[in-house]
Amino acid sequence: MFSFDSTDEITRMAKARSQFVCQNCGALSQRWVGRCESCGEWNSIIEENTASGIGAQAAMGARKGRVFALEGLSGENKPAPRIVSGIGELDRVTGGGFVPGSVILLGGEPGIGKSTLLIQACATLANKGHRVCYISGEEAVAQVRLRAERLGLSKAPVELAAETSVEDITATLMQGERPALVIIDSIQTMWTDKVEATPGTVTQVRGAAQALIRYAKTSGATVILVGHVTKDGQIAGPRVVEHMVDAVVSFEGDGGHHFRILRAVKNRFGPTDEIGVFEMTGLGLAEVSNPSALFLAGRDASAPGAAVFAGMEGTRPVLVEIQALVAPSSLGTPRRAVVGWETSRLSMVIAVLEAHAGVRLGQHDVYLNVAGGLKIGEPAADLAAAAALVSSLTGSRLPPDTVFFGELGLSGAVRPVVHAGLRLKEAAKLGFAAAVAPATGREGEKPAIPTRSCGHISALVADIAAGSAAEKPRVAAGRS
């Protein structure tokens, strides 16, 4: 019989083996709370046992370590061999193809086309003679077959299975020839016996991902983990999974547009921030070789408040239209709405225009939109956004054959940006005849199109205002 002190000791030890984990962000807590202090999500704290999963070996007792060899920095290095999928835009994002033994985390909103893209990649590789396995944890085999029939890929020798046990999956994949590509759709549905938690929880997702990563590294197969996306656009599950994998790729798109963007957020074997553009058709996703022409299709060059921005997405130059609408506000606090750009960046541009160019926008509602649904993250879009804002405020249209790019400093100076030559070449290829950009400082380099240097934001505002003054007499003469 246990004494009172022994009972308290057993209770204390049992509590010490438990921890409370947020299922939304993975934050740890010493007690249960209704709202996570890290991410602010309600009812997401669940008690989990620390003696399972990644910390199980430490709880059961440490094993004796083995001695391994250490090597120097010098030596013969060979480039990692790659498996080319045959889909050019997918190979561009991955850095030239799949590296054997790598693990890729693919995230995207439901219905965006993740499964469609992966089925097409599986069929292309399988038709080349590679062994490809598609493991679905959300759909039955019959449902996957129906999607393949709609895409016209039912003849491809892809191996299908509907399974959620990680141990059963790895044991099956070990049989026969090593797969070249394994699709796990999705990681949130997988579970492992080594973790005492409900499937879909942070501990299970982390433990299942670790087991699949270990299989990829030991076997040499490329594994793609499909991940769900939260309401704020982040891949659901613990952030530690993104650090464990070799590449993180997000599949972006809007239901109102027919194209999708595949963006590399992290890549240990290739460039980051690379994008691949696809168009959703009746036969699946089709590659878009010239995304600039797609983003500029249907633009109204005669409307004020529209500027063409020559941007860079990874190593690819992309031209998009930035639209602005400035209207008098009847509210005490004017509206500031942005689609496809950072709200803080817009606030900074408005402040610089007011402080250094005399453009008064404090009593106006400001709306900014990147046409086509593309999300811009580079500061080179400052000059194009400023030009669109001033054009909308003055009612004067910008030259339809001119592109804009340049970073705006807090002093009003327009700073140079990288890859100016590639931006100008892309603009010239699409028929643009002029550019407004900061000075590059390279005298001997001839630009692809005539470039008007802009050193300060006040010079840009003065040029737009002069164009507006010259345009008003022509409008009045036309009316008379």
Q: pLDDT tens digits, residue range 215-233?
A: 999 999 999 999 877 666 6
Q: Are residues 336 and 241 in the same domain?
A: no
Task: Give DSSP secondary structure letters for 375-426.
Answer: PP-SGGGHHHHHHHHHHHHHTPPPPTTEEE--EEPTTSBEEP-S-HHHHHHH
pLDDT tens digits for 278-312? 998 888 899 998 889 888 888 888 889 999 999 99
Question: Is 59 within a domain?
Answer: no
Per the omega criterion (within 30 degrees of 0), is the bond before 165 cis? no
The Cα 47–Cα 108 span in angstroms is 28
The Cα 408–Cα 391 span in angstroms is 17
- Choose among 242, 318, 224: nearest CA to 275: 318
Residue 213, SS3 per DSSP: helix
- Measured CA to CA in angstroms, residue 346 lies from 45, 245, 335, 379, 408 at distances of 37, 34, 12, 11, 11
Q: Are residues 297 and 283 in the same domain?
A: no
Question: Is 83 within a domain?
Answer: no
pLDDT tens digits for 375-418? 898 999 999 999 999 999 999 999 999 999 999 999 999 999 99
Mean pLDDT of 3-12: 50
Q: Are residues 282 and 374 in the same domain?
A: no
Q: Are residues 283 and 310 in the same domain?
A: no
**Residue 480 pLDDT exceeds 70:** no
Question: Is 447 within a domain?
Answer: yes
CA 70 to chain centre: 37
Range of the domain at 133: 88-289
Residue 20, SS3 per DSSP: strand
CATH of the domain at 215: 3.40.50.300
The Cα 119–Cα 133 span in angstroms is 10
pLDDT band at residue 61, thresholds of 50, 70 and 90? low
Q: Are residues 331 and 259 in the same domain?
A: no
Mean pLDDT of 11-23: 64
The Cα 178–Cα 221 span in angstroms is 7
List all residues 6 or more positions away from 23 whose beta carbon is below 8 Å from its beta carbon: 44, 45, 46, 200, 201, 202
Tokens found for residue 7: 């009972």
Q: Are residues 240 and 333 in the same domain?
A: no
Q: Are residues 299 and 280 in the same domain?
A: no
- Measured CA to CA in angstroms, residue 66 lies from 62, 63, 69 at distances of 12, 9, 10
Question: Is 9 within a domain?
Answer: no
Question: Is 233 within a domain?
Answer: yes
Question: Is 81 within a domain?
Answer: no
Q: Are residues 280 and 306 in the same domain?
A: no
Residue 55's pLDDT is 44
Last residue of a domain, one of 289, 317, 345: 289
pLDDT band at residue 8, thresholds of 50, 70 and 90? low
Q: Are residues 217 and 257 in the same domain?
A: yes
**Residue 235 pLDDT exceeds 80:** no
The Cα 295–Cα 232 span in angstroms is 24
The Cα 373–Cα 63 span in angstroms is 53
Do 420 and 437 contact (CB within 8 A), yes or no? Answer: yes
Tokens found for residue 359: 């453009």
**Sign of dihedral through CA atoms 199, 204, 206, 209?**
negative
CATH of the domain at 345: 3.30.230.10
Q: Are residues 424 and 443 in the same domain?
A: yes
Question: Is 189 within a domain?
Answer: yes
Residue 119, SS3 per DSSP: helix
**Residue 182 pLDDT exceeds 60:** yes
Residue 295: phi and psi, rounded to 5, are -70, -25
- Give the residues across from 339 on adjacent strands: 369
Q: What percent of the chain has pLDDT over 70?
A: 86
Last residue of a domain, one of 235, 270, 289: 289
- Better-predicted residue by pLDDT, 8 or 258: 258
pLDDT tens digits for 326-380? 999 988 899 999 999 999 999 999 999 999 999 999 999 999 999 888 889 899 9
- Better-predicted residue by pLDDT, 426 or 444: 426
- Better-predicted residue by pLDDT, 342 or 471: 342
- Give the residues across from 135 on adjacent strands: 161, 184
Question: Is 243 within a domain?
Answer: yes
List all residues 6 or more positions away from 1 whose beta carbon is below 8 Å from its beta carbon: none
List all residues 6 or more positions away from 145 whose beta carbon is below 8 Å from its beta carbon: 154, 160
The Cα 31–Cα 21 span in angstroms is 9
- Give the residues across from 254 on adjacent strands: none
pLDDT band at residue 175, thresholds of 50, 70 and 90? very high
Q: How many domains does the chain have?
A: 3
Q: Are residues 226 and 150 in the same domain?
A: yes
Q: Are residues 216 and 189 in the same domain?
A: yes
- Give the residues across from 222 on adjacent strands: 181
**181-185 and 132-136: which strand pairing?**
parallel
pTM of the model: 0.78
- Stated as kind and residue range, the H or E segment containing 320 is strand 316-328
Last residue of a domain, one of 254, 289, 324: 289
CB atoms within 10 A of CB 35: 13
CA 181 to chain centre: 22
**Identity of the residue numbered 157:** P
